[in-house]
Chains A and B, each alone.
Chain A
Amino acid sequence: MLFNSLTFVVFFTVVVAAYWSMRSWTLRKNLLVVASYIFYGAWNPPFAALLFTTTAMDFWLGARIARAKGHHAKKVWLVASVAMNLSMLGFFKYGNFLLENFQWLMARVGVIYQPPHLDILLPVGISFYTFHSLSYTLDVHRGVMQPTKSLRDFVLAVSFFPQLVAGPIVRAGDFLPQLLAPPKPQTGRFLWGLALMTLGLFEKVVLADTMLAGSADTVFGYAGPLVALDSWMGVIAFAGQIFFDFAGYSTCAIGAALCLGFHLKDNFRFPYAAIGFSDFWRRWHISLSTFLRDYLYFPLGGNRVGWARASINLVIVMFLGGLWHGAAWTFVVWGLLHGFYLVIEHVLRAFLGNKTWTDSLAMKVLLGLLTYAAVCLAWVFFRASDFATATRMLQGMFGGHPRGDAILATREMLQIGGVTFFMMLAHWSLRDISIEQAVERLPRWLVTTVWAVMACAIILTQGSSNAFIYFQF
């Protein structure tokens, strides 16, 4: 069920009303489990069984890890959990991709192999809930948390509907402690949750879908050469679209969780005001980047293993981060580009050291804009359906098609320019503070007006909106 749907409005109203009217904490948690499975099953009921199977297996494996004597035995159970989760993800998400690449490899050595096309339906949000669940066994193994004794609590931690299908990737270690005692009803927290849901939906349905998505789709879907202006506009539109789409979902998720008394960590922190790529990944999809950092980069040795090895580690992490997003080499190139950016940045930092001239405001803004431009370049591979499209787009962006076609309406370019300008202004103004702090600084009448305007704009879109981009991951 989509946040931007009438079904969700009714569903959420009923769940919130029932939840706060119940006195028993056990009943409330049971309600949330049932609601979460209804939320998930509303896409494709049989996949709810898959979700439960993954969860129950990790619950059991978590207990085995905790009970196992000795490092080796613990590791065996952890490997079982990782293998189970990744094979599930591999089958559903990468099955056809692996077969196609195997076919290609065979053809290179002269073997003609025609694999069957597996008609696999991708369970929505599998990349997210696999990581929710996996974080549990990983943390139990690392000794940072004790396994829970309650299967119901763990099922709720993995399937909690606000974050189930598109994040943030909430670690069991962050969520399970919140299930120990019932949250007290707080009007302020509830209203702030509603306000965040309004902001998230506004970002998604108004800014991403209404103002930007059409132009990005038009440009990336065009089969011919485009002039530089239209190519750049398409890429900038997508850069804004994917931010508002994904950050919008995360904001909605955080708001919905708050309405139920739970705290989820921020997933975005004004990323287009990042200065450098390390900074970007501290601000973009924070729950994924910290997941990869803690469970992959650090175990590989992090940056304690010397410059060359740390660079390789970075590239490995970003390669896998790219692949996590989708079963296509274009996503891998996107990840590798970010890996490459990070390595270059590390080299430059080592070379420049603590040069004071890099601290001037002008230099910060310049570096920030360079970061944004490089991120936009990488988005080309993320959005393009194949390398031919990506190549055509890059050629267009760098003046390779001076006699190419112009396909965007002036109105579309004004929308892209306007939204991007205000987005950048907001990101740079708020880069060092949180939304809560920003709202606290505003006069009450302005907050009220902005909230009402956002809600009216959402109503005006009439639900004629798309699914969230990150659902496909």
Chain B
Amino acid sequence: MTVIVVLMILAAAAAWEIYVRSIGYAPTLNDNEDLWTMARRRVTPESVVIIGDSRAWFDLDLDELQKGLGKRPVQLGMKGSCAYPVLADLANDETFHGTIICSITARLFMAPPGSPPMDHSAKAVRRTRTQTPAQRASQYLAMPLEEHVAFLKQEELDLAQLLKGLPIPNRPGALVPPRFPPYFATVDRERRARMIEQCADANGELARRIQQIWIPLFTPPPPPTYIPRAEFGKQMGQAIEQRFRDVASAVAKLRARGGKIVFVSFPHSGGLKELEDRETPRAGIWERVLKDTAASGIHYEDYPELATFTCPEWSHLSAGDSVEFSKRLVPHLRAALQL
């Protein structure tokens, strides 16, 4: 009986693997807290570190940055995350006096405490302190498997995600969070994310599907029903002001040890750019962060050579464009960091 069970499991796994490959999936690492922790452990006192949301994660090519800056950066950017917990972690790390390249996507950068973008980063930072030897061992065991088996894709093909994908309509008025975009990137052991080919075509089915997912994700949610509107507005205002103060304080702490930081606004396109320009205009958060921290900033729109890129799915550059973008960004980074 056991032999039959084993054969049935192997047959089902093989069939599932063949099927997911046939619909476009390829083996890649899962970008989880343990992989992030591995990267965080590579940070040395003088490292160049990339932090922030998925635009820094997709759009920066480590080879090009290494060529241009003389050091191979450590990629600590995370999709759907707020940069602040990682910035604070590095600022509080007394041994660190390196360089930080920090992405600013306003809605994520200012995400209030307790929101998913903050929790996502805070959880990863916490993992560096709480990771058990068993979790570390599991990560090392999982990586070779994930590099060879396409269906091992936790954020897309695990049972929970498959169930979430069922087309079952919700009750009218139900406050159900919007879905996240499907698989469209590969990740390697250095956490370099690359957009897959199928998504690089702006008119392709996948890119168009993802474009429509960004809109609800980047649209401000309605205020909670259980807090008076004015009170909620006041609380949000206070949280935003607190974030400005916290970021300025973290940057000051870093600088006091000789560390450097440069903020970068990465390309975004189409309807998403229109939405972001309307909801979180540059004059609001971007300018204020630069003013409060007195740090350098590189906004892609300020430089024609950076502004010519188009994001196929509106938020990130294709793998090929990310290399060219990084090459063009290097002189600006060098100038901003006075290298």
Q: Which residues of A contact B (CB under 8 A)?
A: 1-2, 5-8, 10, 41-45, 191, 194, 206, 209-211, 214, 223-225, 405-411, 414-415, 444, 447-449, 451-452, 455-457, 459-464
Closest to A221 in B: B114
Closest Cβ of chain A to B2, distance in Å, is 6
Chain B residues, CB < 8 A from A444: 1
In the complex, identify which listed stretch (B70-78, B134-142, B193-201, B208-216) lies at the interface while the others stay far away: B134-142
Chain A residues, CB < 8 A from B294: none
**A461: which of B5, B132, B158, B169 is its contact (CB, 8 Å)?**
B158
Q: Is the CB of B132 within 8 A of A463?
A: no
Question: In the complex, which of the residues A2, A194, A459 has the most CB atoms of chain B within 10 Å of its own CB atom?
Answer: A459
Closest Cβ of chain A to B178, distance in Å, is 11
Q: Is the CB of A452 within 8 A of B8?
A: yes
Question: In the complex, which of the residues A7, A45, A224, A405 has the most CB atoms of chain B within 10 Å of its own CB atom?
Answer: A7
A410→B171 CA distance, assembly (Å): 7
A464→B153 CA distance, assembly (Å): 10
Chain A residues, CB < 8 A from B135: 5, 7
Chain B residues, CB < 8 A from A449: 8
Chain A residues, CB < 8 A from B16: 460
Given contacts A1-B134, A42-B134, contact A459 B168 (CB under 8 A): no
Q: What are 6 A-to-B residue pairs whose CB atoms are below 8 Å?
A: A42-B133, A44-B132, A448-B8, A460-B16, A463-B138, A463-B154
A315→B169 CA distance, assembly (Å): 47
Q: Which residues of B contact A (CB under 8 A)?
A: 1-2, 4-5, 8-9, 12-13, 16, 30, 132-135, 137-138, 141-142, 145, 152-154, 157-160, 162-164, 166, 168-171, 173-176, 224-227
A225→B227 CA distance, assembly (Å): 11
**B158: which of A5, A43, A411, A460 is its contact (CB, 8 Å)?**
A460
Closest to A408 in B: B174
Closest to B11 in A: A452
Chain A residues, CB < 8 A from B170: 409-410
Closest Cβ of chain B to A84, distance in Å, is 27
**B132: which of A43, A406, A411, A464 is its contact (CB, 8 Å)?**
A43
6 further A-B contacts with Cβ under 8 Å, apart from A191-B2, A224-B224, are A206-B159, A210-B158, A405-B175, A451-B5, A452-B8, A460-B158
Chain B residues, CB < 8 A from A211: 163
Given contacts A411-B168, A460-B158, contact A406 B2 (CB under 8 A): no
Closest Cβ of chain B to A138, distance in Å, is 32
Q: Is the CB of A224 within 8 A of B225?
A: yes
Q: Is the CB of A6 within 8 A of B9?
A: no
Chain A residues, CB < 8 A from B152: 462
Closest Cβ of chain A to B250, distance in Å, is 23
Give 9 closest A-B pairs by Cβ, nearest first. A224-B226, A42-B134, A452-B8, A1-B134, A6-B141, A464-B154, A462-B158, A7-B137, A460-B159
Chain A residues, CB < 8 A from B166: 411
Chain A residues, CB < 8 A from B145: 6
Closest to B4 in A: A448
Question: In the complex, which of the residues A211, A408, A452 has the most CB atoms of chain B within 10 Å of its own CB atom?
Answer: A452
Q: Is the CB of B8 within 8 A of A406?
A: no
Chain B residues, CB < 8 A from A447: 1
Closest Cβ of chain A to B25, distance in Å, is 13
**A409: which of B5, B30, B168 is its contact (CB, 8 Å)?**
B168
Q: Is the CB of B168 within 8 A of A414?
A: yes
Q: Is the CB of A194 within 8 A of B2?
A: yes
Chain B residues, CB < 8 A from A411: 163-164, 166, 168
A455→B142 CA distance, assembly (Å): 18
A225→B173 CA distance, assembly (Å): 14
Closest Cβ of chain B to A458, distance in Å, is 9
A415→B164 CA distance, assembly (Å): 11
Closest to A464 in B: B154
Q: Is the CB of B176 within 8 A of A452?
A: no
